[in-house]
Amino acid sequence: MPSNKSVSDAPITQFVNCRILKDHRLQREDLWVRKGKILNPEKLFFDEEGFADHKVDCGNKIIAPGFIDVQLNGGYGIDFSQASDDIRGGVALVAKKILEHGVTSFCPTLVTSPTVIYHKVIPEIRVQDGGPEGAGVLGLHLEGPFISEEKKGAHPTQFLRTFNAGGVADLTETYGHLENVAMVTLAPELANSGAAIRELAGRGITVSVGHSMADLSQAEEAVQNGASFITHLFNAMLPFHHRDPGIVGLLTSDRIPPSQMVYYGMIADGIHTHPAALRIAHRAHPAGLVLVTDAVTAMGLPPGRHTLGQQQIDIQGLHAYVAGTTTLSGSIATMDMCVRHFREASGCTVEAALEAASLHPAQLLGISHKKGTLEYGTDADFVVLDDALTVRETYIAGQQVWS
């Protein structure tokens, strides 16, 4: 029977024979989609007396919300921190390629760069919905240049900056404008960082602490000023010490305002973080864990020499190093790989592994009312996976965009 046209002419698709991730558990339920949104079947039956126009048999596979990557530096030969002649084309290429890894939305990430790069690149990368042409862009993640020289990692020293103009003025001078910026990573121990954090948070931009020498009290003050994320936990920060746990101590701090939640990024590529460290973090604060790839230009390419912003990097096996050093420089992992590794290394449930790549990043960015869940009324961005958590199909707005 056709759907009831008195409410909408749009066709209704019913996904059957599937287990859907909802309310933190896999449930044997059908998924109904209309006009790019998840539909409440009860309303459909009782209010509209409607039925599905199309049925899709999922073969007992898992349906989970689409993955969201909040730290992606590039891939497939594209480096988001390079001012190429076709910046938008480069973002579009990566957006298309990551669909096969279940990513339906992402934050293109710029590492520490000269001011001229920010002024050229930032206006070119705009927030946009995903579709058959690629994953959606949620806004930029600006990682640097307001970071610690001692913990710069792969970021070039000569372009690091401090908040010497009082914080807010430095942001506009360095970045140009902040439209289409979703997140900024900075070191909270820098003088005048408090004003910058308050300004960014006040504009709805997520502030992350990272590449930092901050002690715990400096990190807590940053959270009290509005910071809510930790960039790649354990990497490029003071190691945990029992008398001053540093930024890592935010996971169990009792000085976090009750209305606030601290999330933390984890590169679960089997290289950046030892499985035991991954387990410690997850068991201390499971609801805050956000899987990120931190993938660089070389993701999807063969080993050899590539770029990350202003630096040369060498790919050896699964390792990415600043050329001629043993300093890790992002990863070449894909998000589905990180989900599988996290599940295996942490011993967590399938549900927890999937939510770390979907619900948690959506909550971090304040978009869980429309992304990162399969609740009624949310965007129908989802992945179909087998029991080994291999992505079989990717959907955006209810439309198959990869299989």
* Residue 236 marked in a binding site: yes
Q: Is 149 annotated as a binding residue?
A: no
Give the integer Cα–Cα distance in Å for 363 and 261: 9
- According to DSSP H, which parts of 15-150 are helical? 41-43, 87-97, 115-121
Among the listed residues 69, 79, 170, 294, the single catalytic one is 294
Q: What does 196-252 look like in DSSP terms, one character per residue?
A: HHHHHHHTT-EEEE-SB---HHHHHHHHHHT--EESSTTTTBPPP-SS--GGGGGGG
Known binding residue 154? Answer is yes
Tokens at residue 30, please?
Answer: 């059908």
Nearest by Cα to 106 from 208, 177, 182: 182
Structure tokens at 47: 């209010």
CA distance 122 to 153: 23
243 known member of a binding site: yes
Residue type, 363: Q
Compute φ and ψ for 225, nearest 5 degrees.
Answer: -85, -10
**Is residue 211 a known part of a binding site?**
yes
Cα–Cα distance measured from residue 190 to residue 146, given in angstroms and rounded to the nearest whole number: 8
Burial of 277 (0-12, 13-18, 19+ CB in 10 A): middle
Residues 53 and 2 sit within 8 Å (Cβ to Cβ): yes
Q: Rounded to 5 degrees, what are φ and ψ at 334?
A: -105, 160
- Residue 72, marked binder: no
59 is in an annotated binding site: no
Helices 275-284 and 335-346 pack at an angle, to 10 degrees, of 80
Residue 205 carries which side chain, given as an amino acid letter? Answer: I
Catalytic annotation on 170?
Answer: no
Which residues carry a binding-site annotation?
143, 154, 211, 232, 235-236, 243, 272, 328-330
Which residues carry a binding-site annotation for Zn(2+)?
143, 211, 232
Which residues carry a binding-site annotation for substrate?
154, 235-236, 243, 272, 328-330
Active-site residues, by number, are: 294
